[in-house]
Amino acid sequence: MTEFNRPKLPESLKTNGSAENPWWANAVVYQIYPRSFQDTNGDGFGDLRGVIQRLPYLADLGIDVIWLSPVYKSPQDDNGYDISDYEAIDPMFGTMEDMDMLISRAHKLGIKIIMDLVVNHTSDEHEWFRASKDKDDPHSDWYWWRPAKPGFEPGTPGAEPNRWGSYFGGSAWQYDSERGEYFLHQFSPKQPDLNWENPQVRQAVFDMMNRWLDRGIDGFRMDVITLISKHLADGDIPSEETTGEPGPDGYCSLWDFCSDGPRLDEFLSQMRREVFEGRDGFLTVGEAPGMSAQRGAHITDPASGELDMLFLFDHMGIDQEGPAGKWSVKPWKLGDLKRVWKSYQTSVAQKGWASLFVDNHDQPRVVSRWGDDSSEKMRVLSAKAFGLFAHMHRGTPYIYQGEELGMTNANFTDLSQYRDLESVNMYHQLVEQAHVLSSDEMMNALRAMSRDNARTPMQWDDTRFAGFTAEYAPKEPWIEVNSNSEFINAQAQIDDPNSVYSFYKSLIALRHANPVVACGDFKAVAEDDEKVYAFVRSLPPEQVSAAVAASSGSSGSVSDDTAVVSSDSSILNGSILPDSVVPGLVADGSVANGSAADSGSLRDLLVVINMSSSSARLPDEVCGLIGDGVDGDSVLLTNYDPDNTSASILLGKLSPWEAFVYAL
């Protein structure tokens, strides 16, 4: 593990309720989906040396932590989320020596590395699963094996233990002729669920995690970790009679039986004790689909001894409703977004912590989903607006690769262009088998919601393959490059002070320089307004002096002998840094509009966002907070020209997607 190179928040400021403020309360995390980030050997897939190559770019952006999606050995049925060996690197991504080099060089930049951990399930090619097929093997109870339904011939239609449907389509039960029984898989048939009721399974997982931490990584992001405890009936999987009525696809949902089970807290507490107790400088974040904000607050409360933070997903469902689930897309409403994010904020107001995100590898690009990518102007404005939205709340913000450039959805037009297992499987199930959606309806749904929208190659420059791989590489990228990479790319933005990239740098610098952004209280403003999202971040009076003291030392510099990474296009030159170079980033707290977020600006912060492509009236409640006069120096950050925003405030009318932070 490496030390956090930002100023630590003083103990007089309250964060997650722990006795000592955690380092990650003032951190920004950047998610890398390695197969789509940077290809260095021309095979069409991103690799670990590609991540190493782009470390100067990430240092310039100002992030503190890299979350690395799975690079373990895997058959790649679900792009690496089906792990066949937790302690080997898949040759697609490189070698263990490459992984060690990445850890070392990231640490020299002051950047921590957390790895994606998938332990709800393994690959069906994992040695544990292969051994479990033998009923006499010690691993025989490491997975959820069950016999055929009474009265049915095993392996025949309808013989599955019950009618549960997989989230990726089809039955959640797969027959194995070698064992003569069915195994449970909530996702792909090549992703059998581990049986966490078995203490040997838990111990094997904990031992593996300890070995990775000993190797030098800084923590884990835990995939669907809230599904590891199942709701059992008399110690067994629920029977056919208790699984509910099937949906239009012929299957019942297994959600109520596999989510947030009765032993989840116990399992996570045991993990905390056996893996992390006695260690410092780590971060644990769990993916928690379907988890309520209140349950999330309990799990992330330090007193519970479970996880540091969770990814909650209620906001990701505000544009979905209908018989096809996530594929029944509806227009989103700002009121729904306000309601959900307020619940996130209020639930952890005293204890616990929030993960702040609008993009990741499983979600479509936010600028296409909720923003406006119909024109270059609207794309840039709405990308900045949603960046401001996520980063200015209380919690730890997560940036997904390309989000800082305003990358858009893929806009694929043919099913053959999709690579995502879920997307392809659900097309066949909903269109060809269950006839829930027409082909046109499903193709529209895929364009809007497919996970592949987030997985197109990172757009580095305007060359043929966007700089992801060489123009004349032996293999083309594993998935098509977005056609708009000619004008949406890092090279075009890195030196442009008005770019989305520069705006994200300003957001990160503002957070690092002002403790009120990291841990100030949250109060919603103008909650009934249908266009404007507004809230106030504030520190209690008794904490202001401590905040000023913290800000006065917030240069963010590392050691005196550390070189500074320049903020020009040289960070995109593609060279791999020699071990002797120890780059760092000096975060001076400057923002895009030229004003500095110094200790004098550590007052209550008002955040205002017009979340629409039309002009909007500035709510009366917002006007009342600002008062009669407008102090231009109080506009700390805006996605328009500062003079434009000052005029908007005076006129009481916001331009499309206008978003700003104002020091009260």
Mean pLDDT of the chain, nearest integer: 91
| Helices 264-271, 293-300: inter-axial angle, 10-degree rounding | 30
Pairing verdict, β 605-610 and 616-617: unpaired
What pLDDT does 490 receive?
A: 98
Known catalytic residues are: 223, 287
Give yes or no for a contact between 637 and 661, defined as CB atoms under 8 angstroms apart.
yes
Report CA torsion sign: 529, 530, 531, 533: positive
What pLDDT was estimated at residue 240?
67
CA angle, 651 then 654 then 657, to 5°: 165
Provide the pLDDT for residue 376: 98
Please state whether the predicted TM-score (pTM) of the whole model is above 0.95. no
- Give the model's pLDDT for residue 239: 72
Region of 414 on the Ramachandran plot (φ > 0 left; ψ -120 to 50 alpha; else beta): beta
Instruction: State the SS3 of 592-607.
Output: CCCCECCHHHCCCEEE
**pLDDT at residue 589 in the model:** 34
- CA dist 458 and 406 (Å) reads 11
Are 4 and 21 a contacting pair, CB within 8 Å? no
Residue 364: predicted pLDDT: 98
Q: How far apart are CA 405 and CA 412, in angstroms?
A: 20
pLDDT at residue number 19: 80
Alpha-carbon gap, residue 186 to 168, rounded angstroms: 8
Q: How far is CA 239 from CA 43, 232, 242, 245, 396, in A?
A: 47, 10, 6, 13, 41
**What is the distance between the terminal CA atoms of the chain, rounded to a whole angstrom?**
39
The answer to whether residues 387 and 503 touch, using CB atoms and an 8 Å cutoff, is yes
* Confidence (pLDDT) at 243: 67
pLDDT lower than 50: segments of the chain? 554-569, 575-601
Residue 570, pLDDT score: 61
**Alpha helices per DSSP H over 320-392:** 334-347, 366-369, 376-391
Residue type, 548: V
CB–CB of 34/401 below 8 Å? no
